[in-house]
Amino acid sequence: MQPPTAGREQPDDSFDFLFKIILIGDSNVGKTCVVQSFKSGQFSEKQQNTIGVDFTVRTLDIEGKKIKSVSVYRPECFSQMQVWDTAGQERFRTITQSYYRSAHGAMIAYDITRRSTFESVPHWIREVELYGAANVVLCLIGNKSDMESERRVLFQEACSMAEERGILAALETSAKENQNVDDAFMMMARELLARNGMDVQQRAPSDSPRVLLRSNSRPINSPERIADKKCC
Ligand SMILES: Nc1nc2c(ncn2[C@@H]2O[C@H](COP(=O)(O)OP(=O)(O)OP(=O)(O)O)[C@@H](O)[C@H]2O)c(=O)[nH]1
């Protein structure tokens, strides 16, 4: 499957923006389940390992009706999120790397019950830096938050990593219980809309304790990040 062309779609009036989000992380952290939860709210225990890249589309309505009533000058904000679920296995890396280039956002997933998957996060950030386009927005997702008794990574550690690495947001999700999954994509979409000049307020869900939203994130390969890299 070929990735569709990036950017703002003109002729198709069913959405205003097309955002491509790539979901990356080690094998079995739950990427496919997170995407399924986002797409349909469904969870199925057994998942085949993703071969190469899988592709899901969901159209989000962000502030849609409200915007209609507030301003006649602004279009309703319909964003189409295309989520590219990538294989975590090493042997598929060359296939998935070609999808980095057209991604506007990257969600890096780890499993809160497997510390090694969190320790891989810097590797995945490097992949985005190497293969991604400029200004890719990053989100960190600690999945399987329903497995609290087997936790091996503290949420605070993810927050520290987000702070250090200039990541937009850190969240803990449960694809199984459909916790925080939509919020992760909504925050990403709001950030991308804002960066596309839309007057959209970023906001973290108020009722979830495991969400960190940072106001001064630095997109991957932005001039600020490149300056950071040069000085270290
Ligand atoms: N308890 C729990 N299990 C989950 C959750 N998400 C995924 N799983 C389980 O974790 C396993 C791996 O899930 P996948 O979604 O296939 O993982 P993946 O990251 O897409 O794996 P690759 O395709 O190999 O990269 C499956 O057995 C899922 O049932 C979750 O939120 N909670």
Q: What is the distance between the alpha carbons of residues 87 and 91, in angstroms, rounded to a whole number?
A: 9
Q: What pTM value is reported for the model?
A: 0.79
Instruction: Give the lowest-confidence range in 7-11, 50-54, 104-108.
Output: 7-11
pLDDT band at 143 (very low <50, low <70, confident <90, very high): very high
Cα of 115 vs centre of ligand 1, distance in Å, is 15
pLDDT over 70 percentage in the chain: 61
Give mean pLDDT, residues 81-107: 68
Do the Cβ atoms of 79 and 15 come closer than 8 Å?
A: yes
**81 exposure class (CB count in 10 Å sphere: 0-12, 13-18, 19+):** buried
Cα of 187 vs centre of ligand 1, distance in Å, is 22
Q: Which residues of 58-71 are buried (b: 16+ CB within 10 A; e: fewer)?
A: eebebbeeebeeee
User: Which atom belonging to ligand 1 lies closest to the Cα atom of 174?
Assistant: 31
pLDDT for the residue 42: 82
pLDDT band at 131 (very low <50, low <70, confident <90, very high): confident
Q: Which regions of the chain does DSSP assign to beta strands (E)?
A: 17-25, 53-61, 78-86, 105-111, 137-143, 169-172, 211-213
pLDDT for the residue 17: 76
Cα of 3 vs centre of ligand 1, distance in Å, is 24
Do the Cβ atoms of 51 and 87 come closer than 8 Å?
A: yes
User: Is the beta carbon of 174 within 6 A of some atom in ligand 1?
Assistant: yes
Residue 75 has pLDDT above 60, yes or no: no
Per the prediction, the chain carries an average pLDDT of: 74
User: Is the beta carbon of 196 within 6 A of some atom in ligand 1?
Assistant: no
pLDDT for the residue 79: 44
Question: What is the complex's ipTM, to 2 decimals?
Answer: 0.98
User: Is the beta carbon of 181 within 6 A of some atom in ligand 1?
Assistant: no
pLDDT band at 4 (very low <50, low <70, confident <90, very high): very low
pLDDT for the residue 7: 44
Closest protein CA for atom 11 of ligand 1 = 28
Q: What is the distance between the alpha carbons of residues 113 and 183, in angstroms, rounded to a whole number?
A: 21
Closest protein CA for atom 1 of ligand 1 = 144
Q: 175-232: per-residue pLDDT in tens? A: 999 999 888 888 888 888 888 777 777 776 666 778 888 776 666 666 565 555 544 3
